[in-house]
Structure 1
Amino acid sequence: MMNLVDLSHPLDPEHMSIPPGLPQLTCCPIATVPKDGYSMHAVSFGSHTGTHIDAPSHFIADGKTIDQIPLNALVGHALVLDLTHKGPQEIITWNDISQNPHAEKIEPGIILLLHTGWSKHWGSDQQIYWDHPYLSPDVADKLIASGISVIGIDCASPDKSQLEPPWDFPFHHAFLGRGGFIVENLTALEELQGPTVTVNLLPINLVGCDGAPVRGIAWN
């Protein structure tokens, strides 16, 4: 039997990390079996809720939307890099990537998963989930030059999280602006066996949208 690892946080309104001011997840019953003979819920959420993917249109005018992302870009071989030595709000440099013991496995077309260990703080009432490590903007250029078009990270953002203006997302602009895709709020990367796995990071097919939830799974 295939051993599947769920890389997505449950969409649970009682246990989530959503930045202040953004739409909160609601899941409300509108029909029940005892009353109506069937059960149905009304669900509402922002396009960047929970484990989700950023399409280029999130920051780039005329960038690809969710429905325009090629399916084969989000399913395939992935490389997991351990960055758990990085602390709160510590920057991840290209040297951290290139000097990783498995950096030689970075090759065109592979999906790069960055394991910070920050998913353990998901749903916390404390500030710490937003104090995650983040990527230097020049890493985006070097990844694109290395043939990487999809990255995933187990924290809120590859940029420094900002809960109030002024907003600045240099990694997003650099990576999405060159046609890349970013998966955020992954979890359970520590459960993956070995540095290379196969992943499926396909999102809900929201036509014209800038982001969408992902039910990510991985297997060896």
Structure 2
Amino acid sequence: MTLTLVDLTHPLTSGMQIYPGDPEVQIAPATSLADEGVVVHALHLGTHTGTHLDAPSHSIADGATVDRLDIGRLVGPLHLVDVTELAQPGRRIELAQVAAQLERLAAGAIVVFRTDWSKRFGRPEYLEHPYLDVTIAERLLAAGVTVVGVDTLSPDRTDATAASADLPFHDVFLGAGGVIIENLTSLSAVDPARDPWISALPLPFAGLDGSPVRAVAMHRA
């Protein structure tokens, strides 16, 4: 069977957009072919840079760290929920509005919400993204879904002025041992009629709270 691969990952670049307060991204040459005979770059970035994964320890005391996750959970059937018609700045998406698309969820599926907000990535309005009501997290967990993805900065509302984050979706989903994938892109290229799968594998940072991922969707050509 021939597979079509869809890259769902934002490129990592110096100065790229980050969650307010996260470390700035700096990528610079450390060696050169002319001087050392090899090219190596130095990276400075946060664990939640670009398209990335939140491990439970991101917001849950004593939660699992990224290196302790079963990577088998991070490759699986992609259940795409299209909420593009609901995607308005700062809008909360309610369970009742997506309930029909959450029927017949298979345990172990990776549920991804498509808003197409990723088209705004890198611009100030990207922070004014729509977000998911906490009851959606509860519904997913009840169906045996433990990995969820969004093409926004977060499934929770982003308030750049807040002293500390208010993360009810994170608290419920990560609190149950779930995993959240954020800042996906190009979901419009995924055809849900072709039984897509998704892979979003992190680097095994020992004892840390998250990692950038290379997220890829796969479906029949």
- The answer to whether the superposition gives a TM-score over 0.5 is yes
Q: In the TM superposition, what is the alpha-carbon distance from 1:81 to its structure 2 partner?
A: 0.8
- Is the 8 Å Cα contact of residues 10 and 51 (structure 2) preserved in structure 1? yes
RMSD, aligned α-carbons: 1.3
* Alpha-carbon shift at residue 161 of structure 1 (Å): 0.5
In structure 2, what is the equivalent of residue 177 of structure 1?
Answer: 175
Contact 1:79 1:105 (C-alpha < 8 Å) held by counterparts = no
Q: Cα deviation per residue 1:179-217 (whole Å; 9 max; x = unaligned)?
A: 110000000110001254111111111110101000011
| Percent of residue pairs bearing the same amino acid type | 40
* 2:154 equivalent among 153, 157, 161: 157
**1:129-183 C-alpha deviation (Å, 9 max, x unpaired):** 0111101112111110111100000000000012122421111001100111000
1:91 aligned partner: 92
- 1:71-105 residue CA offsets vs partner (Å, 9 max, x unmatched): 110001111110001211111111122123xx334
Deviation at 1:20, TM superposition (A): 3.5
Q: 2:36 aligns to what?
A: 36
Residue equivalent to 1:200: 199
Q: Which runs of 5+ in 2 are unaligned?
A: none
CA distance in 2, matches of 1:57, 1:160: 19
Q: Any gaps of 5 or more consecutive residues in structure 1?
A: none
- Cα distance in 2 for partners of 1:21, 1:83 equals 28
* TM-score of the aligned structures, taking structure 1 as reference length: 0.94
Instruction: Write the distance in 1 (CA, Å) between the matches of 2:44 and 2:147.
Output: 27
Residue 191 of structure 2 is aligned to residue 190 of structure 1: no
Indicate yes or no: 2:211 matched with 1:212: yes
Partner SS state of residue 35, structure 2: helix
Q: Secondary structure at the match of 1:141?
A: helix
Counting only pairs closer than 5 Å after superposition, residues 98-117 of structure 1 correspond to structure 2 as 98-100=99-101, 103-117=102-116
SS at match of 1:207: coil
Equivalence map 1:41-52=2 (5 Å): 41-52=41-52
Instruction: Show the counterpart of 1:68.
Output: 68
- For residues 20 and 97 of structure 1, the distance between their equivalents in structure 2, rounded to whole angstroms, comes to 29
| Paired AA for residue 184 in structure 1 | E
* Paired residue type of 1:122: F
Partners of 2:57 and 2:200 in 1: how far apart?
A: 18
Q: Which amino acid aligns with 1:95?
A: A
User: For structure 1, which segment, 111-120 or 158-167, has the greater mean C-alpha deviation from structure 2 after superposition?
Assistant: 158-167
Work out the number of aligned pairs and report it.
215
- Distance, in Å, in 2 between the alignment partners of 1:69 and 1:96 is 31
Task: Give the structure 1 partner of residue 136 of structure 2.
Answer: 139
Deviations 1:5-46 (A, max 9, x none): 1011000125x2213332011111011112221111111110
Partner of 1:3: 4
Tell me if 1:25 matches 2:22: no
Return the alpha-carbon distance in structure 2 between the equivalents of residues 97 and 107 of structure 1. Answer: 16
TM-score (ref. length: structure 2): 0.93
